[in-house]
Amino acid sequence: MYIQSNPALEKDLNKKIPLAVTFVLICGFFVFFRLWYLQILKGSVYCDLSTNNRVRITSIPAPRGFIFDRTGAALVENIPSFDLTLTPQDTPDETGVLQKLSLLLREPVDVLTKKLDQDKGRPPFEPIVLKQNLSWTQMAAITSNRIDLNGVNIDVVPQRTYHLGAGSSHLLGYLGEIGRHELKKDFYSDYAHGELIGKCGIEKWGELYLRGEPGGYQTEVDALGHKKNILAQIDPVPGSDLFLSIDREAQLVAEDLLKGKKGAVVALDPWLGDVLVMASSPGFDPNLFSRSIDADAWQNLLRNPNNPLMNRALQSQQPPGSVFKIIVALAALEEGLIDPQKELTCPGSFAFGSHVFHCWRKGGHGAVNLRRAIVESWDVYFYQLGNAIGIHNIAKYAAQLGLGTKTGIELDEEKSGLMPTPEWKIKRYGTKWQRGETINTAIGQGYVLATPLQIAAAFCGIANGSFIPRPRLVLKVKEGAETISFPPAKKNLLTVTPQTVSFIKDAIAGAVNDPRGTGGRARIDGITVAGKTGTAQVTSLQSSPAPGSAQSTTNDHAWFVAMAPVENPRIVVAVFIENGGHGGSAAAPVAKEVIKSFLHLSSLSTGNPPALPEVLD
C-alpha cells in the first residue's frame, strides 16, 4: 500500500520537533535543578527537619556553681524552678491550647500569645517558654490536663537563690538573659539565645567558672510530640564553686546597720587585702533577677532617686573630710616639716588673704600639738599644716596610699577617685592652682575625692606600715577535685618610717580612747580600736529629701575609718554614711559593731601577722 507523502505536513512537523525537544530539555533542567536544590544544597536541612519529626534534641542547662564565704557558708545556691514550655511543631491547635492554659493558669490569654509571638522566628521543634516559676498549684493543674495539651511540657530548671540581703546585691551581682551585643563577643561564642549570664558583681567576674557545661538528650517522639524513648543522653557538668573572702556574719551586721541609710561599709584584712565586708545601701533584691525580672520592677529600680543599682562601696566618690588629715600628718612627718610636739594656736579661724577658714569649734581650741589635733580633729591646725607643706607633698603621700587610682578589686566599674594637683587643675580647668585650695584640701574638702574602698585600702597601709594590699574578693575556685587559688598581692609599697607609723597609730588610738577623742563611740572594752572621724560638707545641696529616703540631702556626709586591735591589726573598717551628719555619731558606731562581729568569730593572735607572698603585679 502506498502512502502519498505530504510535503506540507512534513515541513510543519520538522518545525515543531525542535520546539518539543527544547521544551522537554528545559523541563528536565528545572526538574534536575529542583532535585539538586532539595537533595544536595538543602539536603541536610530537610534531613534535620525530617529527623526532628521523630527525634527531639533537648538541652539540659548546667547547674551554676555555688558561692561560699571564707568559712564555707553558702551565699548563693540553686533551687529547682519549673518552666511551662510549648513546642509549635507538636501543637496543631495553638489557639485552643493557649485558651486552655489561660484557664488553668488564671492568666490572660493575650499574655501567653505575646510570649509565643515573640519567638515565632525560631525553628518549630524548639520549645518556647510561656511561663517561668510555676507554682505547685499551677503544675498540678497542667499535669492533670496533660492529655488535652499537645506540645506542652514542664521543664525543671535550676534557679539562683541569694542568702544575703539587699546590701550584698552589688557584691554578689545577679543573672540576666544574654543580649545580642554579648552574643557577638568571642567570650560568649558558645552561648545560646536566652541563656542566663552574670551581669554584674561576682556573678559576672566568675562567669567562666560558674557556668558549667550544658548537657542534652535525644528522645524519640510520636506524632503528638510525646516522648517515647531516650536514644542518647549527655549529662551536664555543674559549674565550679567560688570561695570569697567575705565574712558572712560581719557582712550581715553591716547590712542591718545600713538599712534606711545611704552609704557603704568596707572591711579589709590589712595584711592580705581580703575583703571581709562590702555592703552598700540602698540595694536591691538579687532574687528578682534569678530568672527574669519584671519590666515594671526594672524600671522602678532605674528611676529610684536613691540609685539602688549603684555600688557605693567602690563607685561613690566623695570628699573624705577629716579622715584625710591622717595623710596630711603623715606627709608632714615624713618630709620633716613639722615637730609633732610643737604647738600651734587654734583661735577658731585661719585667715588667708581675703578668705577666712573656720574651725568646727567657733571659739577655737587654743594651743595644740599634732597628736591632740588628730585626736580632737582640729581644722585650724591642719589649715596651717597644709599651707606649710604644700599640695605636692600632700599628693605624693596620698598617691602612695592609693588615692586617685583604682584599687584593682575584681569587680567592674570601680571609680578612681581624685587626688588633685596643680598639673591636674591646669589640664582640667586651664587655671593655676591657688594656695587656698591647698588649705581646703588639707581637711579633705575641695577637689579631693575618694571611695570607701580606697579609704579602707589606704588605712591598711597605715595598719601594716609597709604596703597597700590589693583588695581580694575571691580566695579560690573549686573545680571538682582541683582547686585554683588566688594569692594576695601588693598594690603600692610605702616609704614611711616605723616612727611615723607608730605616731599615727597612737594618735588615732587616742581619737577613739582618749576622753576628748571624736571617735569615742567606736570604743570596745578589752580591745584597743584606733580610728579617725570625718565630716564632709555637701557641696551640691537639694531643696528636699529624695522620696523614700530617711536622710536629709542637706546634711554633711559622715565618715569613720578604724583598725583593731591597734597592736596587731586584723581588720580595717571604713564606714561612709551619705548625709549622715557627724562621723563620730553616725559612722563610728557602725564600725564598732562590725569589728565586734568579726573579732568574735576570729582567733585573735598576739604573734606575728601572716606572711605575704612576693608582689604579684
Q: Which residues are catalytic?
A: 322
**What are the strands, taking DSSP E only, across 43-138?**
55-60, 67-68, 74-86, 128-131
Backbone angles phi, psi at 151, to 5 degrees: 85, 0
Residue 101 corresponds to which cell in the numbers above?
A: 492554659
Q: Is-contact 268 511, C-beta < 8 A?
A: no
Question: What's the burial of 78, exposed, middle or buried (CB within 10 Å: 0-12/13-18/19+)?
Answer: middle
Q: Checking DSSP bridges between strand 175-177 and strand 482-485, what pairing results, if any?
A: unpaired
Residues 6+ apart with CB under 8 A from 36: none
**What's the rounded Cα separation, in Å, for the pair 323 and 533?**
6
Q: Is-contact 306 548, C-beta < 8 A?
A: yes
Give the residue from 263, 276, 268 showing the smallest Cα distance to 461.
268
- Determine the angle formed by the axes of helices 498-513 and 452-464, rounding to 10 degrees: 120
**What's the rounded Cα separation, in Å, for the pair 72 and 202?**
16
Q: Is the dihedral of CA 45, 51, 53, 58 positive or negative?
A: negative
Residue 108 corresponds to which cell in the numbers above?
A: 490572660
Cα dihedral 542/547/552/556 (nearest 10) = -60
**What's the rounded Cα separation, in Å, for the pair 403 and 597?**
28
Partners of 350 in the beta sheet?
Answer: 357
Q: Is-contact 365 380, C-beta < 8 A?
A: yes
Residues 6+ apart with CB under 8 A from 218: 55, 56, 57, 230, 231, 232, 233
Q: Checking DSSP bridges between strand 355-358 and strand 215-221, what pairing results, if any?
A: unpaired
Backbone angles phi, psi at 127, to 5 degrees: -70, 145
